[in-house]
Amino acid sequence: MLFTLPAIKGIAMHIGILEDDPIQRRFLVSALNDWDGPRSQCVSFERASEFLKAMSKQTFDLLIIDWYLPDADGMQLVKRLRQDFGWPGPVLFITASQGENDVVVALESGADDFLTKPIRPAELRARIFALARRTGLNKDVGSNTQAFGAYTLTPGHHSIAVNGTPVELTAREYELAALFLSHAGQLFSRQNILEMVWGVRADLATRTIDTHISRLRKKLSFDGTYGLQLKSVYKYGYRLEHKEADKPEV
């Protein structure tokens, strides 16, 4: 079913909602309709099968997915979107579960944020705006680029190139890389990273961060190959450092 909703704080978005409960679907659309301004689109789906068909034909900026669906497991669905469809956009998970481990599992499965039911409209809108801001959905950003040595960051396109070659990153990997590139030399604790990139304040298991860091090192050659090294600080966090030039042998 197709709905229209005002652009969120100036950000025109095409949002896909996958929720089997008709009352919850109407609630989500209603909650996202509380803005004035240019119109964007919000498309809702009851079943995962319908949603997957639409994914092959439509382009969404952001997805809202319920964890428990009648014809699919939400976690496995997100993994499929990331791996099979190669979809890099932000995903907001919604569920009635409030366990801390569930938050960890959701984030590790590829979700970008997590909301528990009952959902408060103001918080839903704030989370979506935060995701849009963090992942560069504001179309006004355009193609402005930021250069960091061999690395070129393009916020409007949510992309990073190394020596002019674009590198394929997930939305979360991009956010993490952008944080380090924009603050080279600054030490971030794991808690800092969770709050700034994941938007989570709970003391979650750190394997989520460590896994993403490992991927970034490989994908962006943060091993010093292009002058930057992503180093771990024991029992604390990470810092992106400029590699010192090798001194010639005397």
pLDDT per residue, tens digit, the chain (250 aa), is 444 444 455 555 778 999 999 999 888 888 876 554 444 578 889 999 999 888 877 778 889 999 889 889 888 898 888 877 777 788 999 988 767 777 788 888 788 888 888 888 878 888 887 787 776 655 444 446 788 899 998 876 678 999 989 998 887 888 899 889 988 888 988 888 887 777 665 555 567 888 899 999 999 999 999 999 999 998 889 999 987 655 444 4
Query: What letter represents residue 46's amino acid?
Result: E
Domain boundaries, the chain: 2-134, 142-242
DSSP 8-state code for residue 11: B
CATH class label, 2-134? alpha beta
- Per CATH, 2-134 and 142-242 having the same topology is answered no
CATH of domain 142-242: 1.10.10.10
- In terms of pTM, does the model score above 0.75? no
Using alpha carbons, select from 74, 220, 196 the residue that is nearest to residue 148.
Answer: 220
The CA-atom distances, in angstroms, between 170 and each of 86, 95, 176, 223 are 8, 23, 10, 20
